[in-house]
Amino acid sequence: MAEAFLGENEISPKKEPGAFWESSHYNIEVVVPTQTALPAEEGLHFVIQPKDNGSRDELDNPRRDLMTAYFALPVAKIVAESRFTQDFWANIHKDRWGMSVYGRNPQAESAWAKPVNKRSIPADTLHQKGELREQMQRYLPLWERNLSSVTLFEKGVEALSPQSQEYQKEVNAYEKKPYPYKEDVLWVNNKFVLVNVRTPHLSGVHLVVHPRETYWKGTGAFRRPWQTHSAPGVPEPEFMQAYLEAAGVLLATQQILKDSGQVPFFNPETHFSGNWSKDLLPEDKGGRLDVASISDTDTKRKDEKRLHRPGTVDAQGDSTEFRTAMHGHLYATSAPDKLVHLPSRPQAEVGAEWKGITPLKSEEVDKIRALLQQQLTMYLSINCEGLLQKHNEDMLS
């Protein structure tokens, strides 16, 4: 847990009514939107945003976006792991609501192990549980203090040359994957590989940033964006920084493609999710979720949540964690009047929902690859390298 390296608990100053939490040092608050993207029975919906909400022309500001992405982590951790919530998972999106955390409730057939397909409905008072508000008031200041230790791309962006042997190994590895997992490698650095999905989840652009096994195999598995458990000897902020670097890659890619006008690119969203992991299914469907525990007492529900955290094993030493994988998606639709809407489950399960989805043409993939090879490394170096550390220095100057 974050307390292991963030220090002792402390109660933050009294907050203004309305926000669940607002930072004492940064222009950030956590709120429940008055119009939400999903009904309360599917999961909680929180938005992390600037307190003054900024101007509309600042919506793609890297500093603002990555600051809100950072504070999405403890919110997601609370939503997924708190004994006060019925949610067992959380998705982190940058979408038309802002930087959103969406809970996933196993008791909702329309939600569990499925993506958030957004609507616009009045928020429910379920969000106003006093225990949850108090927990955020106590927990988020710990992450607020830890922000000073976060330095993005502290050794530089470390992008690989497409001509390098290491880069070509990634190309070959993704080419050899079975259908529907073949992907086109677009850009690679020391920690991540950015790919085009050949069997996309929508008609338009669907890119994914994957953790590279060559880097992460020594740290313990990278299971969820808000992860704090790591292998012995690995500094615990490692996962937070990497999630933010992956988010930076996707947000930079979004800006480059949006500005280029070379491929259809409308209504973009970035998603960090684990929707279709087999382990999220109930035990009778081959998963690891004990359905009997999820509607029981707060204590039993908390015990079940703890059972699935990264690195957890049972009395026999067998893993009980949810074996999800931290990876981020960038989606954009092919027409301005279409919003991102994803199939509820994999193609093998709900084939009808996948009908009509068309992948990018090879020439469009080539254009995206060329743009990213030309611009992405420089964009990250200028706009994201050391970003949160620089923000802290600015605050202290």
Q: Are residues 189 and 93 in the same domain?
A: no
Residue 62 has pLDDT above 90, yes or no: no
Q: Which residue has the tokens 């933050």?
A: 12
Within a domain: residue 313?
Answer: no
List beta partners, residue 279: none
The CATH number that applies at residue 84 is 3.30.428
Residue 46 has pLDDT above 80, yes or no: yes
Provide mean pLDDT across the span 193-208: 98
Q: What tens digit of pLDDT does each residue of 132-166 get?
A: 899 999 999 999 988 888 889 999 999 999 999 99
Alpha helices in 195-234 (DSSP H): 213-216
Residue 126 has pLDDT above 80, yes or no: no
Q: Are residues 42 and 137 in the same domain?
A: yes
Distance (Å, rounded) from C-alpha 189 to C-alpha 154? 13
Q: Which of 91, 118, 149 is the last residue of a domain?
A: 149
Per DSSP, the three-state class of 300 is helix
Give the confidence band of 194 by pLDDT, cuts at 50, 70, 90: very high
Provide mean pLDDT across the span 370-386: 95
Q: Are residues 347 and 232 in the same domain?
A: yes
Side chain identity, residue 151: T
Within a domain: residue 381?
Answer: yes
Give first-to-last CA distance, the chain, whole Å. Answer: 32
Q: Give the strand pairing for 183-188 and 28-31.
A: unpaired
The Cα diameter of the chain in Å comes to 58
Q: Are residues 122 and 213 in the same domain?
A: no
Q: Are residues 145 and 91 in the same domain?
A: yes
Q: Are residues 211 and 94 in the same domain?
A: no
> Residue 395 corresponds to which tokens in the numbers above?
């605050």
Q: Which of 17-31, 208-222, 291-305, 371-385 comes out lowest in average pLDDT? A: 291-305
Distance (Å, rounded) from C-alpha 197 to C-alpha 221? 23
Within a domain: residue 38?
Answer: yes
Q: Are residues 139 and 232 in the same domain?
A: no
List beta partners, residue 45: 102
Q: Which of 123-132, 177-186, 235-244, 267-276 comes out lowest in average pLDDT? A: 123-132
What is the domain count for the chain? 2
Residue 235 has pLDDT above 70, yes or no: no
Task: Tell me what pLDDT residue 16 has.
Answer: 37
Q: Which of 120, 149, 178 is the last residue of a domain?
A: 149
Distance (Å, rounded) from C-alpha 313 to C-alpha 66? 33
Report phi then psi at 5, rounded to 5: -125, -5
Residue 2 has pLDDT above 50, yes or no: no
Q: Are residues 350 and 231 in the same domain?
A: yes
Side chain identity, residue 45: H
How many C-beta neighbours within 10 Å does residue 282 have? 16
Provide mean pLDDT across the span 261-275: 95
Within a domain: residue 160?
Answer: no
Task: Tell me what pLDDT residue 147 has.
Answer: 86
Residue 251 has pLDDT above 80, yes or no: yes
Which of these, 256, 252, 254, lies nearest to 244 by C-alpha position? Answer: 252
The range of the structural domain enclosing residue 242 comes to 165-277+324-396
Q: Are residues 132 and 93 in the same domain?
A: yes
Distance (Å, rounded) from C-alpha 19 to C-alpha 33? 10
Angle at 269 between CA 279 and CA 68, to 5 degrees: 90
Task: Tell me what pLDDT residue 390 has.
Answer: 58
Distance (Å, rounded) from C-alpha 340 to C-alpha 155? 35
The CA–CA distances, whole Å, from 358 to 135, 184, 205, 336, 342 equal 44, 16, 10, 16, 13
Within a domain: residue 373?
Answer: yes
Q: Are residues 145 and 193 in the same domain?
A: no
Task: Tell me what pLDDT residue 394 has.
Answer: 55
* Residue 207 contacts residue 330 (beta carbons within 8 Å): yes
Alpha helices in 16-164 (DSSP H): 62-81, 130-146
Within a domain: residue 290?
Answer: no
Q: Which residue has the tokens 């992460």?
A: 216
Q: Are residues 215 and 248 in the same domain?
A: yes
Neighbouring residues of 52: CB distance < 8 A, sequence distance ≥ 6? 27
Residue 97 has pLDDT above 90, yes or no: no
The CATH number that applies at residue 210 is 3.30.428.10
Give the confidence band of 58 by pLDDT, cuts at 50, 70, 90: very low
Within a domain: residue 311?
Answer: no
Which of 222-231, 239-248, 312-321, 364-373 has maximum average pLDDT?
364-373
Mean predicted lDDT score pLDDT of the chain: 87
Q: How many CA atoms lie within 13 A of 134 on its CB side?
A: 5
Q: Which of 149, 180, 205 is the last residue of a domain?
A: 149
Give the confidence band of 119 by pLDDT, cuts at 50, 70, 90: confident
Within a domain: residue 301?
Answer: no
Q: Are residues 170 and 264 in the same domain?
A: yes
Give the confidence band of 270 by pLDDT, cuts at 50, 70, 90: very high
Residue 263 has pLDDT above 60, yes or no: yes
Task: Tell me what pLDDT residue 234 has.
Answer: 56
